[in-house]
Structure 1
């Protein structure tokens, strides 16, 4: 049930951002959806046990963190910085598991995946704010000039 809910939320938020968002919203939606596909691919090769540090998910989380960071530095939006902060929590989860393998597997799982829902909700809110700025000002420049 949790999987169906997450996939539904991912599809809704990504489609909303793709159809109604500006360039930063679309970039985030595409990159986040791509990492979800990578995550599905990783699960074919490594079981989701969370007893040890998961290098496949570490790589995926680092890739999406870099993507969020690049968008946050270039976009004329505040909300991508929130995504960078949220994704940092997932990276810290991997670091914590690497430093202390006695961390309960469920805690590692929660630290790793709990950020997924706020990321999608933040994307939807960012897209809504973009639409609102378009309605009020008639324009919403996506990227910084410098």
Structure 2
């Protein structure tokens, strides 16, 4: 049953990332890269360290911190709403690690579930974001990908 769950998730992730890379704008492609990097880091981690959820998992904590930071940066830079939701979802595994560190009596299955549950929502969110990007392109002819952070933070650049 575990292998079926993993196969379903990987199929969903693969479909979402291919769709985003082929049809998405900059933010969709960036999120696809973040998701692929998370998967690759997880696979590399499991080659060297077997998954254990009886104690705080420093390997997954490092992956989750990097993914949360990357997604938060994406949410701040992207001219889209959905990356904000993705950033919030990426924070949930960090709460799992904090919960585990604070209360070591958390059952290992609960710790595992808290770490991975939100990841199931990221591929459908990426698909929805990519689909909305395509709809905006059809309707408007263009779809701005990134916020203009430089002009907002540099008052000397206004009006140029």
Cα deviation, 1:92-132, whole Å, max 9, x if unaligned, reads 00010011111000000000000111011111100000000
- Matched with 2:131 is 128
TM-score w.r.t. length of structure 1: 0.98
- Matched with 1:87 is 90
Q: Which moved more, 1:15-24 or 1:44-53?
A: 44-53
Cα deviation, 1:3-40, whole Å, max 9, x if unaligned, reads 11111011000000000000000011011101100001
- Matched with 2:6 is 3
- Tell me whether 1:143 sits opposite 2:146 in the alignment: yes
**For the residues of structure 1 that align with 2:49 and 2:99, how far apart are their CA atoms?**
20
Gaps of 5+ in 2: 150-160
Gaps of 5+ in 1: none
Q: How does 1:111-122 map to 2 (within 5 A)?
A: 111-122=114-125
TM-score w.r.t. length of structure 2: 0.89
**For the residues of structure 1 that align with 2:130 and 2:6, how far apart are their CA atoms?**
24
**For the residues of structure 2 that align with 1:65 and 1:49, how far apart are their CA atoms?**
21
Runs of 4 or more, structure 1, over 6 Å off, are: none
- Matched with 2:60 is 57
- Tell me whether 1:100 sits opposite 2:115 in the alignment: no
User: Which of residues 31, 34, 55 in structure 1 aligns to 2:34?
Assistant: 31
- Tell me whether 1:109 sits opposite 2:112 in the alignment: yes
User: Which of residues 57, 77, 80 in structure 2 aligns to 1:74?
Assistant: 77
Q: RMSD across aligned C-alpha pairs, in angstroms?
A: 0.7
